[in-house]
Chains A and B, each alone.
Chain A
Amino acid sequence: MQAAEQVLLRTKGLTRRFGGLVAVSDLDLEIRPREILGLIGPNGAGKSTTFNLISGFYKPSAGTLFVFGENCTGKSPLAISRMGLVRTFQHGSLMSSMSVRDNILLGTIHGVSGAARRRERTEETAAMLGLTPHLDNMAGTLPHGLQRLVSIGIAFAARPRLLCLDEPLTGLNQTEVADTLTVLERIRDEFACSILLVEHNMKAVMKVCDRIVVLHHGQHLASGTPAEIRNDRKVVEAYLGHRHDS
């Protein structure tokens, strides 16, 4: 299929119910090559559920999920991660009792054979994230900002085709946010890897994303470029509550 090759991830009518609650309803989502797609929405909008659905941690109640053109509906997290879709977790996405080196190394084990090549990939990844001086520190002892980078490092060390980050900027200061955004852009530009970004930091999302999808009450509310989203009345009403006139 021609279309399938051009789209990394496509969901059709993706739905997930928890008892009577519909967390995600009839969601159509598309992630294209070399793009950073922001997934935003107020608390309870269904962002995390969507994340868990596309990474296989939840099975959809209805709808289909295509990853890299292959029907992955109902596939396990392991199967999906092995196809090249790697995700992080909102809370504690690293091994705190292991060194930063071993943390990042873990990401290379499945995809890279040979100790020397794994070490090389580990060091290359650490260098890109600015973690080289911390390689031999225990991950759990690092400051919060660096721990967030280690989480990205583990995932990126697997060299995914699609990297899904769950609120990677939470709790970072401005410099750290700026540095992380630069890293995300480099991952997109130098490694042709697309990124799905779930994030509450609006300024950062507007700055770094190529496209944004807005969820509200589990449903697709709007999608478009940051500029389009910023000026979308539905979004402004639902998400921000009131219009800012400057």
Chain B
Amino acid sequence: MDNLRLPYWALCTALALAVTFVVRDPYLASIVNLISIAALVAVSLRFVMLIGELNFATAAFMGLGAYAAGAATTILHWPFALALVFGGVVAAAISIVFGYITLRTRGPYFLLIGFAFTEAVRILYSKSMALGGTSGMVGIFPPVGFDAWMPSLIMAVAAVLIFALYVLERSDFGKILTAIRDNENVARTVGLNILLCKVACFAIASFAAGIAGGLHAFANNVISPGDFSFLVAAFALAYVKVGGEDNIVGPLVGTILLVTLGSFALGLGGQEHIFYGAAIILAVLLLPDGITGLARRGYQRLAARKGH
């Protein structure tokens, strides 16, 4: 296990939680929720990028988590925490089966399968009357009295999961994942079960995506199939690429920046999608390692100048 930089994590989490305590305006609170949830989805997407795969099924697993949590709450009347965890578990369980079958493919094939799965699952919700069809599922409320604390709760859950994914990435398991991306055959020849590690990576990421879906359901009280189209994964990819994928800080920076920009654009009556599109193009052309990559290079240059 490498150095976990605990002080930084504690400080940043404390700051993020402080923001949720200070923000009392409902519109601003909804943006904070959006950021927490989108950051968790982006980090989940990046976790599968560790094995070198682009996981467009992230959107599907977020949706499965949301619908599972929603159904547990509105149909089964399960308690809040149980329903939330149930969403993550359902997403992870389905992802194990899905991953075991599909993770034998790679690259564009895996991406396309994930894309198709996301759209298929989305259409499934809209055809299912029990799940509310195209108009969606309503009445997914957190316990009475929680409303005021929802942004803090959502932020806290997202922070815990993001930190957990970070810890896994820094562990020996995380090194196996990077090795799979770099050179799968070498990992196989030293006795490591590659498919098992890939499925585990995928299931862990899907659990996080499922929890993100549950948080989304409880934050908005309403979910509909359209919330979980492939665009969710496309946006998450934009956050990762703009922020930088080398480090877990990248998707966090990308999410905060792009969601804030996007919300601002909505306020202007514009289409926030244009911002995302432009941001991706600019990032890919000008910042191959994203904003965090640029910051690191700048820091290195500064350090080098000081050294002289």
Contact = CB atoms under 8 A, between A and B. Distances in A.
Contacts of A55: 189
**CB-based closest 3 A-B pairs:** A110-B191, A95-B182, A82-B191
A110 to B, nearest CB: 3
A109 B172 contact: yes
A111 B191 CA distance: 8
Interface residues of A, number: 30
A63 interface: no
B191 A81 contact: yes
Q: In this complex, which of B175, B181, B188, B191 has the most chain A Cβ atoms within 10 angstroms of its Cβ?
A: B191
Contacts, number: 75
A96 interface: yes
Contact of B176 (A81, A106, A115, A155): A106
A118 B188 contact: no
Nearest to B246: A97
A102 B131 CA distance: 47
Interface stretch (A36-44, A86-94, A180-188): A86-94
Contacts of B178: 95, 97-98, 102
B175 A88 contact: no
B191 A95 contact: no
A158 interface: yes
> Interface size for chain B: under 10, 10 to 19, 20 to 34, or 35 or more residues?
10 to 19
Contacts of B1: 115
Contacts of B182: 94-98
A157 interface: yes
Contacts of B185: 89
B22 interface: no
Given A109-B172, A115-B1, A94 B186 contact: yes
B190 A95 contact: no
B191 A154 contact: no
26 contacts: A55-B189, A77-B188, A81-B189, A82-B191, A87-B189, A88-B189, A89-B189, A93-B183, A93-B186, A94-B183, A94-B186, A95-B183, A96-B182, A102-B175, A102-B178, A102-B179, A106-B179, A106-B186, A106-B192, A109-B176, A109-B190, A110-B190, A110-B192, A115-B172, A154-B186, A155-B189
Contacts of A107: 190
Contacts of B172: 105, 109, 115, 118
Contacts of B300: none
Given A81-B190, A87-B189, 5 more contacts: A78-B188, A105-B172, A110-B192, A154-B190, A158-B190
A25 B181 CA distance: 35
A95 B189 contact: no
Contacts of A151: 186
Contacts of A157: 190
A178 B181 CA distance: 33
A106 B188 contact: no
A97 B185 CA distance: 15
Contacts of A155: 189-190
B187 interface: yes
Interface string B61-74: 00000000000000
B221 interface: no
A55 B194 CA distance: 16
B220 interface: no
